[in-house]
Amino acid sequence: MSHNLKTLKQEFLEYIEIEKGRSLHTVENYDRYLSRFLKFLKSDNPGAITPEIMREYRLWLNRQSSGQVNRGNETLKKRTQSYYLIALRAFLKYLAKRGVKSLSAEYIELPKVGERHLDLISSQELHRLLDAPKGSDLKSLRDRAILELLFSTGLRVSELCSLSRDLDIHSDEFSIRGKGEKVRVVFLSDEAKKAIKQYLDKRVDVEDALFVKVAHEDKNGDKEKGLTKRSIERIVKYYAIKAGISKKVTPHVIRHCFATDLLSNGADLRSVQMLLGHAHIATTQVYTHVTDSQLRNIHKQFHNKRK
């Protein structure tokens, strides 16, 4: 059995991909986080991971630049630091499972992070965004279908990119495979079905992907015709600017709007969790902080009743 950390790291990455069913995106992130730690450690011996090394690493990590453009000397956010430590803790648990002597995973405590801040746009801004694609050309029809589908389903951008054109738009629902290979059901609004039908009726190509590049976007003659995550992000950003929205708008912001719209109109948290595909309801609970109209009404009714 090899006790070489680089080899063990590679075996761990294969383990979480095959045995744990983690997505390739998650595996790539874990690889990046662990590689950074091993570079700091400067040793290939699992026994070199000690409480003292962890204290030094935590301090070093806390002082690292975020690397964000136009952020000056801003350091890594606590939440980002947590991602590094979560990956390392999972790796140490794997070492213990393999019988490799190293630091116990229980030694690693995650930094306390503040409540997650949601990037939201108002309902008026959302409606302007959805109405922004004008015209009957293929690109406008495609982009309108993308925006309507994102808001109707709350899909992640990667899930949207995975859709094929054999999607049954005559049905009100379809299944999607999301994070952790979990399958959930999402639902199509009448607006989304109409927008997708108009777009598909206009297409003359035989590509399998639901959303594909139009002629002038395919400048490099790429074999891959389906839109990428980056392409979808650029499309959303373009129409947000066109709609006069000054805030940063991404596909994930539309996913936030999907969740808050449901909760604001009376949907229960458990149902929204299932529609979003969240593994834990605690992830969904972040939305309750911006949708609790009952508390807002109580405040208006009882606060500051000066005579």
pTM of the model: 0.70
268: nearest Cα among 291, 252, 251? 291
In sign, the C-alpha dihedral spanning 227, 228, 230, 236 is positive
Tens of pLDDT, residues 114-156: 555 667 888 899 999 999 999 999 999 999 999 999 999 999 9
**pLDDT class for 293, splitting at 50, 70, 90?**
low
pLDDT level of residue 71 (50, 70, 90 thresholds): very low
Output the average pLDDT for the chain: 87
Query: Which of 116, 156, 171, 140 lies closest to 288, judged by CA?
Result: 116
Question: CA–CA distance from 129 to each of 50, 153, 186, 234 (Å)?
Answer: 52, 16, 22, 14
pLDDT tens by residue, 163-196: 999 999 889 999 998 887 789 999 999 999 999 9
The active-site residue, picked from 142, 184, 255, 256, is: 255
Catalytic residue check, 252:
yes
CATH 1.10.443.10 fits 123-296, yes or no: yes
- The answer to whether 95 and 46 have CB atoms below 8 angstroms apart is yes
- CA 227 vs. chain centroid, Å, equals 17
* Residue 213 appears among annotated catalytic residues: no
Neighbours of 153 (CB within 10 A): 26
The single-letter DSSP state of residue 188 is -
Average pLDDT over residues 66-70: 53
Fold: same for 5-107 and 123-296: no
Task: Report domain 5-107's class.
Answer: mainly alpha
What does the alpha-carbon distance between residue 210 and residue 6 come to, in Å, rounded to a whole number?
40
Length in residues, the chain: 307
Pinpoint the alpha helices (H) of 98-182: 123-131, 138-153, 157-161
Phi and psi of 178, rounded to 5°? Answer: -110, -150
Instruction: Measure the CA–CA gap between 64 and 45, rounded to whole angstroms.
Output: 25
Is the distance from CB of 108 to CB of 90 less than 8 angstroms?
A: no
Out of 15, 33, 94, 287, the active site residue is 287
End-to-end Cα separation, the chain, in angstroms: 79
Q: Is 84 noted as a catalytic residue in this protein?
A: no
Among candidate residues 9, 89, 144, 156, the one labeled active-site is 156
CB 230 within 8 A of CB 248: no
Q: How far apart are CA 145 and CA 211, in angstroms?
A: 9
Does the annotation mark 194 as catalytic?
no
- Decide: helix, strand or coil at residue 187: strand
> 3 an active-site residue?
no
Q: Is 132 helix (H, G, I), strand (E, B) or coil?
A: coil
- What pLDDT, in 10s, does the model give residues 252-291? 999 999 998 998 888 888 999 999 998 888 888 877 766 6
What are the CA-CA distances from residue 100 to residues 2, 57, 237 (Å)?
9, 21, 48
d(CA 129, CA 242): 8
94 is annotated as an active-site residue: no
**Domain limits, the chain:** 5-107, 123-296
The catalytically annotated residue of 179, 194, 197, 237 is 179
